[in-house]
Chains A and B, each alone.
Chain A
Amino acid sequence: AIQMTQSPSSLSASVGDRVTITCRASQDIRNDLGWYQQKPGKAPKLLIYATSSLESGVPSRFSGSGSGTDFTLTISSLQPEDFATYYCLQDWNYPRTFGQGTKVEIK
């Protein structure tokens, strides 16, 4: 199974900060990667698919980049509603595998 390694596992940031989360795959997954946001007690929500395609309705401050094994989720200006846990998910093959998550907390 492909291993997805996210970093950092947590971070503290302030409103307005630029935040970057990375995800590394254990093998080449082309651009078959998505990013999901999860708030406490809620279901995950799709933010980005195919590495860099923004899901409909998701604010443009979210962006994704990368290819092959290294991927990045960037929040250009952190907003209060963005404090949550973020997961990457590879959809190159089965079993699908998630990163371990990055918790974004208020500084």
Chain B
Amino acid sequence: EVQVVESGGGLVQPGGSLRLSCAASGFTINTYSMNWVRQAPGKGLEWISYITRSSRTIYYADSVKGRFTLSRDNAKNSVYLQMNSLRDEDTAVYYCARDRNEEAFDIWGQGTMVTVSS
């Protein structure tokens, strides 16, 4: 089965850090770009980051630029989102999504919850 599975979420204090992982199975991740999308409680979807197959190009939403870092390890079939200087407004479910040909997010994980609170 083609799927991605996120992990690493949890409760963290403001200013703290977390590292999210997205593990792919059923396909080889090095043939796809990948994205992260988040959803605050009761709110809509927000795209936050993108990485190309080779990691040559990485984009971030302004809301996380300078605080979040996206990386990938194709040998481990995984991508990682390092989140630093976390704020209350970063509280959300974080989804990993496969990017098909720059035209669709075709495979989504189940999401991992990040709660930033003191």
Instruction: Check A49/B103 contact, CB under 8 A, given A44-B95, A94-B50, A94-B59.
Output: yes
B47–A96 touching, CB < 8 Å: yes
User: What A residues does B44 contact at CB under 8 A?
Assistant: 87, 98-101
Per-residue 0/1 for A46-57: is the Cβ within 8 Å of any B Cβ (1 yes, 0 no)? 100110000100
Closest chain-A Cβ to B78's Cβ sits at a distance in Å of 18
Q: Which of A43, A46, A87, A95 has the most CB of B within 10 A?
A: A43
* B95–A46 CB distance below 8 A: no
Q: Which of A29-46 contact B (CB under 8 A)?
A: 32, 34, 36, 38, 42-46
Instruction: Say whether chain B's binding surface is mostly helix, strand, loop, or mixed.
Output: strand
Complex contacts, B102 vs chain A, CB 8 Å: 91
CB atoms of B46 and A98 under 8 A apart: yes
Whole-angstrom distance between the Cβ of B2 and the nearest chain A Cβ: 12
Taking the complex as formed, is A78 at the interface, i.e. its CB lies under 8 A from any CB of chain B?
A: no
Known A-B contacts A43-B111, A44-B45; the reply to A95 vs B103 at CB < 8 A is no
**Given A43-B95, A95-B61, A96-B35, are A50 and B103 neighbors across the interface (CB < 8 Å)?**
yes
Query: Which B residues are CB-close (under 8 A) to A97?
Result: 47
Interface size classification for chain A: 20 to 34
Q: Mark B28-71, 1 if CB is under 8 A from A, else 0.
A: 00000001010000001111001000000001111000000000
Across-interface contacts of B95 in A (CB, < 8 A):
43-44
Chain B CB within 8 A of A89 CB: yes
Cβ–Cβ < 8 Å partners of B37 in chain A = 44
- B97: A residues at CB distance < 8 A: 44
- Hey, which chain B residues are within 8 Å of A100, CB to CB? 44
CA distance A100 to B104 in the complex (A): 18
**CB distance B104 to A34 under 8 Å?**
yes
* Residues of chain A with a CB closer than 8 A to B103's CB: 32, 34, 49-50, 91
| In the complex, the 7 A-B pairs of residues with the closest C-beta atoms, listed nearest first | A49-B104, A43-B108, A96-B47, A94-B59, A98-B45, A101-B44, A100-B44
